């Protein structure tokens, strides 16, 4: 019998509120963002606003790693729930993530059209290129927010 060490993790949301002064809704959002950036930059100047942990709302449960008794890693980064952490460094990245499902559906439809044309050995007759391009352009336009 071997002994293994398992390192588990999950992310616990923390909540907190601060009061800001602003002349209107748009400025309130700008001030809130500016406050968050100040807190991130210098925690000595601004108190950390997230003080209330919500342990019953934990997400991203995972096994970080399993090591055997010699220290050899035998598994890593194993998801234990249905949540997925994603990084979206740009607005385009956000749109790509948000539109992944319709883009996948469009790709499946394009493949279906192309496969039918190739299988019949009548690519041009069975495959309406305008339809394929329309499907592709629609998926791209949803993602970039304009005409493809």
Q: What is the pLDDT of residues 118-144, one digit of tens each?
A: 666 655 555 566 677 777 777 777 766
Examine the pLDDT at 24 and tell me if it is beyond 60.
yes
Phi, then psi, of 101 in degrees rounded to 5: -65, -50
pLDDT mean over 107-114: 78
- Residue pair 40/91 in contact (Cβ under 8 Å)? The answer is no
More confident residue, 80 or 132: 80
Residue 145 confidence (pLDDT) above 90? no
- H/E element, 10: strand 4-11
Of residues 35 and 132, more confidence is placed in 35
Compute the average pLDDT of residues 32-48: 85
Which has more confidence, 54 or 145? 54
- In this structure, the dihedral spanned by the alpha carbons of residues 20, 22, 24 and 29, taken in order and rounded to 10 degrees, is -50
Q: Is the pLDDT of residue 51 over 60?
A: yes
Tokens 């002994």 correspond to 3
| Whether the predicted pLDDT of 38 surpasses 70 | yes
pTM: 0.55
Residue 102: predicted pLDDT = 85
């Amino acid at each position: 019998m071997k002994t293994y060490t398992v390192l588990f993790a999950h992310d616990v949301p923390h909540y907190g509120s601060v009061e800001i002064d602003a002349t209107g809704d748009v400025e309130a959002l700008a001030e809130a963002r500016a406050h968050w950036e100040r807190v991130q930059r210098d925690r000595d100047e601004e108190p950390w606003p997230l003080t209330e942990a919500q342990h019953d709302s934990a997400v991203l449960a995972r096994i970080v790693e399993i090591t055997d008794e010699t220290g050899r890693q035998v598994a890593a980064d194993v998801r234990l729930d249905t949540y997925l952490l994603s990084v979206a460094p740009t607005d385009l990245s956000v749109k790509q993530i948000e539109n992944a499902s319709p883009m996948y559906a469009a790709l499946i439809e394009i493949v279906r059209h192309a496969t039918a044309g190739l299988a019949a050995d009548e690519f041009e007759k069975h495959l309406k290129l305008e339809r394929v391009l329309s499907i592709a352009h629609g998926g791209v336009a949803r993602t970039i927010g304009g005409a493809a």
